[in-house]
Amino acid sequence: MFIYIWYMIAIIQHNSKKYQIDLSKPIDISMPLRMTKDNVIAWYQKAPTFKKIMSVRKKDAINFNSIFFNPHAHGTHTECVGHITKEFYSINNNLKQFFFFAEVITVAPEKLGDDFVISKKQLQFALGNKKRQAVVIRTLPNTDEKLSMKYSHTNPPYLLEEATIYLKEKGIQHLLIDLPSVDKEKDDGKLISHNAFWNTSGKIRFESTITELIFVPNSVEDDAYFLNIQIAPFENDASPSKPILYKIIEK
């Protein structure tokens, strides 16, 4: 991928085609981390907190806070295969590129027994023959309640293994979704979709990432975008992240 920036307009060459994006109009699809009970919470954790070490209001020279949170439980995060392997792998080492050709799709999870799931058929319908490096999945219903949802013990929707295998075989390197996990909340530790996406039973896809707990506003149309995945340089399996979409203004 080649990127040429002229003022705030970027010309991106991808697969021999050139696209223009306006860098002055980013679309942030991350959830903010708020140190209150109103913050999104998953995986049986308490709300994130911060401790004031120094405060200008208390006549200290600076504001200096310690923040306590879990990347997987308290907001938008990007993870690598190290999330599910015995060996240590760091998202900071595995994610080496940060700009990707992406497709935003909207899916209404289907009822399957006691669960709501995303199927291969639904993804095939949404993606068709499009070739993308990343897919951004917005699930319905899509309300602001997602920003403060308490997901623990709620059995949220998830991707069927067939759906995740389809994305892997289609060449999707980066999977982003507005749910706490691509897998069922309680699945006895099988993590079927995580394993399928990273191909842990074969040649592991170290360069691939999964980003969970995003939030795509309803004003964002299903379409092709360029995606910038921004992470903090944590030497950890996952990092809080800030995925940004840029609308294509000229093809």
pLDDT at residue number 28 = 98
Question: Strands (DSSP E) along 86-222, which ranges?
Answer: 99-107, 110-112, 115-118, 134-139, 158-159, 174-177, 209-212
pLDDT at residue number 14 = 85
* Averaged pLDDT of the chain: 95
State both tokens at 159. 């991707």
- Whether the predicted pLDDT of 156 surpasses 80: yes
Least confident of 14-18, 119-123, 175-179, 204-208: 14-18
Residues in the chain: 251
pTM: 0.96
pLDDT band at residue 129 under the 50/70/90 scheme: very high
Higher pLDDT, 3 or 154: 154
State both tokens at 112. 């399957």
Beta-carbon contacts of 13 under 8 Å, excluding residues fewer than 6 positions away, are 1, 2, 3, 4, 19
E strand or H helix at 247, and its extent?
Answer: strand 238-250
pLDDT at residue number 11 = 84
- Whether the predicted pLDDT of 116 surpasses 70: yes
Distance, in Å, from the CA atom of 114 to the CA atom of 236, rounded to the nearest integer, reads 34
pLDDT tens sequence across 201-245: 999 999 999 999 999 999 999 999 999 999 999 999 999 999 999
pLDDT at residue number 21 = 93
The mean pLDDT of 74-87, rounded to a whole number, is: 98
State both tokens at 42. 């998953």
State both tokens at 133. 């490096």
E strand or H helix at 6, and its extent?
Answer: strand 2-6
Structural domains of the chain, with CATH: 24-250 (3.50.30.50)
State both tokens at 174. 């980066």
State both tokens at 233. 């340089």
pLDDT at residue number 20 = 92
- Whether the predicted pLDDT of 250 surpasses 80: no
Least confident of 9-13, 69-73, 236-240: 9-13
pLDDT at residue number 171 = 97
CB-CB contact of 116 with 157 (8 Å): yes
Looking only at the bridges linking them, the beta strands covering 99-107 and 134-139 are: parallel
pLDDT at residue number 251 = 63
Phi-psi sector, 15: left (phi>0), alpha (psi -120 to 50), beta: left
pLDDT at residue number 12 = 85
Beta-carbon contacts of 42 under 8 Å, excluding residues fewer than 6 positions away, are 72, 73, 74, 151, 152, 180, 181, 213
- Whether the predicted pLDDT of 5 surpasses 90: no
pLDDT tens sequence across 22-50: 999 999 999 999 988 899 999 999 999 99
The mean pLDDT of 124-131, rounded to a whole number, is: 97
- Whether the predicted pLDDT of 2 surpasses 80: no
Looking only at the bridges linking them, the beta strands covering 238-250 and 77-79 are: antiparallel
